[in-house]
Structure 1
Amino acid sequence: MGTAEGVGGTGERSAIVAGGGIGGLAAGLALTRSGWRVKVLERAATFGEVGAGLSLWPNGVRALDALGVGDQVREQALAETRAGVRDTAGRWLSRTDTQELADRFGPLVMVHRARLLDILRAALPAGTLCAANEVTRVGPRDRGVEVEHGGTASRADLLVAADGIRSTVRSALWPQAPGPRYAGYTTWRLVVDAGQRLPVGGESWGRGERVGIAPLPDGRTYLFCVANAPEGQREPGRELDAIRRRFGHWHDPIPQLLAAADEESVLRHDIHALPPLASFVSGRAVLLGDAAHAMTPNLGQGANQALEDAVTLAALLDTRPDVDAALTAYDLARRPRTQRIARRSRRIGAVAQWRSAPATALRDLLLRMTPDSAVLGGLAPVLDWRPPGH
């Protein structure tokens, strides 16, 4: 993208997308399909991610359908996998019938994060992706934006900030906005090859600790472990030993999965969330995904909401008379929904991480007494989303 591309009389609208993760790639694809000339800037030297498992819920799959890549991920559906919440001994507290969920809302897809990124990258036109291009400065320019990146400056009609929870663009254009806040718990994520595909997934809840299991289509298993912990606490080279000590005595197949794991596969991250912002729009810059509404992972909606953002943004730019009107509509459509989901996810995480014995006993009892149909019905406001115009 040259220094004057996309601005002032070319007739073709141009966009710069900061961030080459799921939200950024989805935004680039959505805008490209709407006729925009797009550059996706990624600060890393290569496009890729050392990731683990990712839940694509029906709302996210519908967004991928709108992007033209839904069929490639729908093949990964786990409609016959049993799921729900268990206690540390393996007794079911709540069950989720994934077939009923699929019949009511659409399929739940479990995919490796790297696989989804591969699909999105492959769908973008050649020349769209620009690695080793960190955004260093942004500012308004001629009813558009000017972005300095990788030692050059580019102008465009629109800047989409999809550069994550510690967004450079958000810091520059929303200087008064609060930064990420620690949720009080840390997570270990790993993919394990235990030699067989498990028929059961879901979470197990203890006192201030949780384990999640999700079979992947290639026969491996995505495992995540969560524990209340001080922020920044680490055990370099011994993270696997740490989770074996914590969770190795929990119900099957958790001990077997941990026994089959290796230290190099363990990723540890403290969980942070972004406090609500007053707006997702500043001039011709718009926030998307974690840069706008980073949330705790307790509803599995982070990536799904980024996909919704991307599809909604492109659709509104197609149907509104100008870019400014479309961005106003995007803020009104996306900010209330994503902030509601973020609040709900935060509350679920708080309850799931309770440590008190009386509190956790009451929590488990209430889960057992709640009809499974009520749990499924409670997901409707999240999963019933449809792309604009569909």
Structure 2
Amino acid sequence: MRPETRGELLQPNGLRVLAELGILNRLLASGAQVIHTIEFYQRSGDPLGTLDYRLLDPPYDYVVGNRPHRLRQLLLQSLGDTPIWWHAKVEGLQRDGNTWRVAVSTPAGPQQVRSRIVVAADGARSQVRRMLGIRARVRTYRDAYALTIVPRPADFPAVVRQYQGGGTLLGLVPVHPDELYVYWSVPAHRRDEFKGLGSGPLLQALDREDPGLARSLSSLPAVAWTVVVPVRVDAETWVVDGGVLLGDAAHALNPNAAQGTNQALADARALAPVLAAALGKGRVDAASLAPYEHARRALAAGAQRAGEEAARLWTSANPLTAWMAARVIRNLKHHPELARKLVTLTAGLEAAPFTLAERLRLII
């Protein structure tokens, strides 16, 4: 499986699923990094504060920095001999009684499949969702994200570092003993600037924010950037007769939530017993599948809301908003119960947002 020039942060809600699948320890053995804290800095490099996952109850009181292809390899291995059509595309769905006739194009030619259930997990701009007749609101965010992997200096600790201010956000995540994942939020209209730019802009930014790290990376080889413009998806329903949405196809969210993979894993965990029960009873209608959506929709909406609030705070060029963001981070140490709630929200374990009174306590 070809590695992508990006990383991911696996949160406690996703780690729980991986542990239940027997994959978590194997992922850690492959080099994925256990991380307990996120360190926040101003764009100047001055420290603001930390978010400590050890405020959560064990055993999942940490996050894991990872390269996506390593997790996918382990998930594929767990499937055993289950056949997979690579580079396949669903061309059409037709309802035939209680089953679907699915037309699929593959490198080996067209195929026809009959299935009692279709799970649409083909991303934010899901074509299978459209074929199932499920409407969704799709909104493009104003910021793009430039992503890459660089060598990890020997003295870079097992922490996430995030530099913010002036309308930009630069984050560094260790994803392997030898690798750092870099994510950089930039206005969407600047996304083409990163094509062919190499390491120059990154070293210039780090020279201001972390001169020591910039010196460590001064001989950085050519950098290939992946630039994405994320979208938010709000599907009107996640279930229809014989059909289910999962992951971004149902509820894509802002990357600032660091929840994309984790939400998909949590969806799959919730869907599995519901789907097994429905198939066992011979009924895969919308009513039989509805408990899956009921179990997950509020948490997914909470992650969407948290990601957008984080984006507004961390990437705003407005001086007042930037001051508020810095104030919130600095005040976390004075309000441990609110710091725990923020970690719980970030970890995907809580849906309820901060109340107005709680927000004021963090600002005043």
Give the structure 2 partner of residue 219 of structure 1. 178
Distance 1:328 1:155, change over 3 A: same
- SS of the residue aligned with 2:119? strand
Bigger mean CA offset, 373-382 vs 73-82: 73-82
1:1-390 to structure 2, matched below 5 A, reads 48=2, 50-75=4-29, 78-79=33-34, 82-101=37-56, 103=58, 105-150=60-105, 151-174=110-133, 176-179=135-138, 181-196=139-154, 198-199=156-157, 200-230=159-189, 233-238=192-197, 240-245=199-204, 248-253=207-212, 255-256=214-215, 259-274=218-233, 276-320=234-278, 321=281, 322-324=283-285, 325-371=287-333, 373=336, 374-381=338-345, 383=347, 385=349
Aligned counterparts of 1:272 and 1:242: Cα–Cα separation in 2: 25
Secondary structure, counterpart of 2:244 in structure 1: strand
* Alpha-carbon distance, 1:71 to partner: 2.2
CA 328–211 in structure 1, closer or farther in 2 if over 3 Å, else same: same
| Alignment partners' CA distance in 1, 2:124 and 2:232 | 8
**1:130/1:257 CA distance change after superposition, 3 Å:** farther
2:358 alignment counterpart:
none
TM-score (norm 1): 0.78
Structure 1 residues 253 and 166: CA distance shift in structure 2, 3 A: farther
User: Residue 81 of structure 1: CA displacement?
Assistant: 5.3
Which has the higher mean CA deviation after the structures are superposed, 300-309 or 320-329? 320-329
- Matched letter for residue 363 of structure 1: A
Relative to structure 1, the CA distance from residue 240 to residue 73 in structure 2 (aligned partners, 3 Å threshold; closer, same or farther) is same
Cα distance, 1:364 vs. partner? 1.2
SS of residue paired to 2:25: helix
Q: Residues 270 and 262 (structure 1 numbering): CA distance in 2 closer, same or farther, change over 3 Å?
A: farther
When structure 1 is superposed on structure 2, of 257-266 and 302-311 the one drifting more is 257-266
Give aligned-pair identity as a percent: 23
Q: SS where residue 89 of structure 1 aligns? A: coil
Tell me, yes or no, if the aligned pair for 1:110 and 1:217 is still in contact at 8 Å: yes
Partner Cα separation in structure 2 for residue 51 and residue 290 of structure 1? 20
Residue 131 of structure 1: how far off its partner (Å): 0.6
- Shift, 1:103, TM fit: 3.5
Contact 2:275/2:284 (<8 A) preserved: yes
Contact 2:129 2:249 in 1 (8 A): yes
What number of residue pairs does the alignment pair up? Answer: 338
Question: Residue by residue, what CA displacement relative to the aligned partner does 1:136-158 show, whole Å, maximum 9, x if unpaired?
Answer: 11232231222111212111111
The one-character-per-residue Cα deviations of 1:178-223 (angstroms, maximum 9, x if unpaired) are 33x2211111111111442511423111111011111123321111
Cα 1:193–1:230 change in 2 (3 A) is same
Give the match for residue 14 of structure 1: none
- RMSD (CA atoms): 2.7
- Long gaps (5+) in structure 2: 351-364
TM-score under structure 2 length normalisation:
0.83
Q: Secondary structure at the match of 1:222?
A: strand
- In the alignment, which residue of structure 1 is the partner of 2:355? none
